[in-house]
Amino acid sequence: MIDPRDRRTVLAAVRAGHLGPTVMRSTDLGKTWKEAAKPPAFPKAPEGEAGESVHHVFWLTPGHARNPGRWYAGTSPQALFQSDDAGVTWQGVAGFNEHPMRDKWINKGEEGPPDGATLHSINVDPFDPRHLVIGMSMGGVFESRDEGKSWKPLNRGVEANFLPDPEAEYGHDPHCVRVSAAAPGVVYQQNHCGIYRLDRKADRWTRIGDNMPKAVGDIGFPMVLHPRDPNTLWVFPMDGTTVWPRVPIGGKPAAFRSRDAGNSWKRLDQGLPKGQGWFTVKRQSMMADALDPVGLYFGTTGGEVWASFDEGDNWHCVVQHLPEIYAVETALVA
């Protein structure tokens, strides 16, 4: 993740199999790297009590432009960490990690998403640096209005067909939550149970995925927002039926775009494989740039990067033969 405030600092979450989790830092656009002096870690538990250990850092988000040096990190087990020195040292965000409800909000069980239950989708509201929105797979969406000191669930209207209570306050499974930079109070999410929009003047999500073609459905992982138009967004549907194969429906990959806040959708598959395309696009692996027209990029579990330079109308494979791609980010560096 590159820091848009200085366009030189790059942070990467690393978990070497043998050596545990850490955060690596580069201040020269990736030419050289140094490990964080104090990576995200839980406090040592009192003698005789079981403590938590960070398994991996899953998500990194730069802070607001008004807070230079501020970064946030989300981990598995689900917890929120903060750095105020550009990622050199990290501290737990006590308002979340020590919240009396955290044990109920997070998923501590063995069952969970592949690679563990994660705290992801850390959004710093571009219009209000004190307003934070996060997502937790097997947990739900949560919001803070005071820079992380206090938190509330934000899941009304979202289906959770794996929970007994249809109006559960938390326990939902957002895959990717994005706060719009184009207009205040506009939030979208791709959830395990559909695609949703929230106008933050209200507190109930609307399932805009119901407007997707029924044969495609509205299950997927990424959620991509237009940098200047709050009504334009892109998703990349996956087969979420029965056994959840997590691949394009029928092996025919396609992005879908809405230009009217999810009321209608257009299939975008020009240039993509017409069949036998069985890759997955993970929640951090599809991004937009800030150019006009907007460029879109997605990485696949098969190690390919695809790009569109016309807002999704046409796609080109621009990189092949990489390992499985977990995240794609865009940045203007000059």
SS3 135: strand
CA–CA separation, 171 and 136 (whole Å): 9
Strands 20-26 and 255-258: unpaired
Report in angstroms how near the CB of residue 50 gets to another protein at its nearest. Answer: 8
Is residue 206 exposed (0-12), middle (13-18) or buried (19+ Cβ within 10 Å)? middle
CA–CA separation, 190 and 72 (whole Å): 21
The kind and range of the H/E element at 102 are helix 102-105
The contact pattern for another protein, residues 66-105, with x = CB under 8 A and - = no contact, is ----------------------------------------
Residue number, 50 or 215, with CB nearest to another protein:
50
Interface pick for another protein out of 6, 28, 35, 146 (rule CB under 8 A) = 35
How many whole angstroms from its chain centre is CA 29? 22
Report in angstroms how near the CB of residue 31 gets to another protein at its nearest. Answer: 16
Candidates 12-20, 121-129, 152-160, 278-286; binding stretch for another protein (CB under 8 A)? 12-20
Q: State the CB neighbour count (10 A cutoff) for residue 29.
A: 13
Candidates 46-54, 263-271, 272-280, 287-295; binding stretch for another protein (CB under 8 A)? 46-54
Query: With contact defined as beta carbons under 8 Å apart, do 238 and 231 qualify?
Result: no
Report in angstroms how near the CB of residue 42 gets to another protein at its nearest. Answer: 5
Report in angstroms how near the CB of residue 88 gets to another protein at its nearest. Answer: 12
* Under rule CB under 8 A, residue 54 binds another protein: yes
User: Which pair of structure tokens corresponds to residue 101?
Assistant: 């409800």
Report in angstroms how near the CB of residue 139 gets to another protein at its nearest. Answer: 22
The answer for residues whose C-beta is within 8 angstroms of residue 38's C-beta and 6 or more apart is 88, 89, 90
Report in angstroms how near the CB of residue 52 gets to another protein at its nearest. Answer: 7
* Under rule CB under 8 A, residue 19 binds another protein: yes
Residue number, 35 or 310, with CB nearest to another protein:
35
Residue number, 17 or 100, with CB nearest to another protein:
17
- What strand order describes the sheet that includes 194-199? 174-179, 186-191, 194-199, 206-207
CA–CA separation, 7 and 164 (whole Å): 46
Interface pick for another protein out of 44, 201, 214, 321 (rule CB under 8 A) = 44
Residue number, 23 or 288, with CB nearest to another protein:
23
Binding site for another protein (CB under 8 A): 16-20, 22, 35, 37, 39, 41-45, 50-54
